[in-house]
Amino acid sequence: MNNIAIDAENLTKKFSDIIALDNLTLQVSKGEIFSLVGPDGAGKSTFIRICCGILPQTSGDIKIFDLKWSLNRKEIKNKIGYLSQRFSLYGDLTVDENINFFAEIHNKKNYQKAKEELLEFTHLTKFRDTFAEYLSGGMKQKLALACCLIHNPQLLLLDEPTVGVDPVSRREFWKILSELLKTGMTILMATPYLDEAERCNRVALIDKGKILVCDIPQKIKQYIKDRLYEVISSNIRSLYYALLAEKDIINVQMFGDRLHITTNQEVDSDILINILSKYQVSILSVREIVPSMEDVFIAMTKKQTNGK
């Protein structure tokens, strides 16, 4: 039995001269939460919209539960729930009315019990008579999610659902996703947040329409084979610009009051300290660290840009 929920092969999407997806091949397994991570313009939303049948691909193939959109539109539509990047529900309808509307769009019969369960599940019961336009950002997203789930889809497609949402609501949203995962639902989520990606079963880092790497989060962190150091200095900005010209420094990034410095394997902490000492800047701390997902993404996008 096929265990693949989304199967994209050599998928390309062009908008005039702009290549949004570049020969992309990707598989999402049934029952997993899969994260598509990248900056604005990377191709995340384009891929999700093609999965939803909203956009046609320019070339390549995509199957949803082994079905093609061109031949099985109605069947696929009933299997997926889609939460768009922007809040797209009706502000002049109440929470209750919005869910009712989406249930009827999907020809859902006798959905009152399911609606009550969803309201309780998303903690929206006491707001059921509130007009959607008066909800907070986090509650709007939970309402949008409830509307996506009212027809009981097998695949949930989320396009940056937590962007602009406060930290507490973001945490609650993830609790809801965790509970959905226990039911066997498949979730594909596009996000610019690398910390969210670490909560997923698998992650694909995407940039300029290409998949840079696809693996479980723990293995992605091992893709950097060079040494990574965290440096804290009294004059972090000056040190950052100075190190950009150092031939033994592969990459340097500022993270608040500290630097992440990537060197080759031959540069140990003593050698790095000698390099830093040339700049007569007070160094408060130097320590070798394990790469984060962000470190890997920065390294891989730089490698792609340099063509190495």
* pLDDT given for residue 162 in this prediction: 86
Which residues contact residue 211 at a Cβ distance below 8 angstroms, ignoring those fewer than 6 apart? Answer: 24, 25, 26, 204, 205
Whole-angstrom distance, CA of residue 118 vs CA of residue 145: 9
Half-sphere exposure of residue 49: CA atoms within 13 angstroms, side-chain side = 14
Torsion sign over Cα 5, 199, 36, 25: negative
pLDDT in the model for residue 248: 87
Token readout for 207 is: 């940039």
3-state secondary structure (DSSP) of residue 15: strand
Domains belonging to the chain, first-starting first, are 4-221 (3.40.50.300), 225-290 (3.30.70.980)
Tokens of 127: 């707001």
The answer to whether 76 and 67 are in contact (CB under 8 A) is: yes
Q: Taking Cα atoms as reference points, which of 149, 158, 124 lies closest to residue 34? A: 158
pLDDT by 10s per residue, the chain, length 308: 589 999 999 999 999 999 999 999 999 999 999 999 998 899 999 999 999 999 999 999 999 999 999 899 999 999 999 998 777 788 999 999 999 999 998 899 899 999 999 999 999 999 999 999 999 888 998 999 999 999 999 999 999 988 888 888 888 889 999 999 999 999 999 998 888 888 999 999 999 999 999 999 999 988 888 899 999 998 899 899 999 988 889 889 998 889 999 998 889 999 999 999 888 888 899 999 988 888 888 888 876 666 55
Q: What size, in residues, is the chain? A: 308
DSSP state, 292? P
How many C-beta neighbours within 10 Å does residue 284 have?
12
Give the Cα separation of 59 and 194 in Å (integer).
29
pTM: 0.86
Of 134, 137, 124, 135, nearest to 96 by C-alpha is 124
Query: How high is the pLDDT of residue 307?
Result: 55
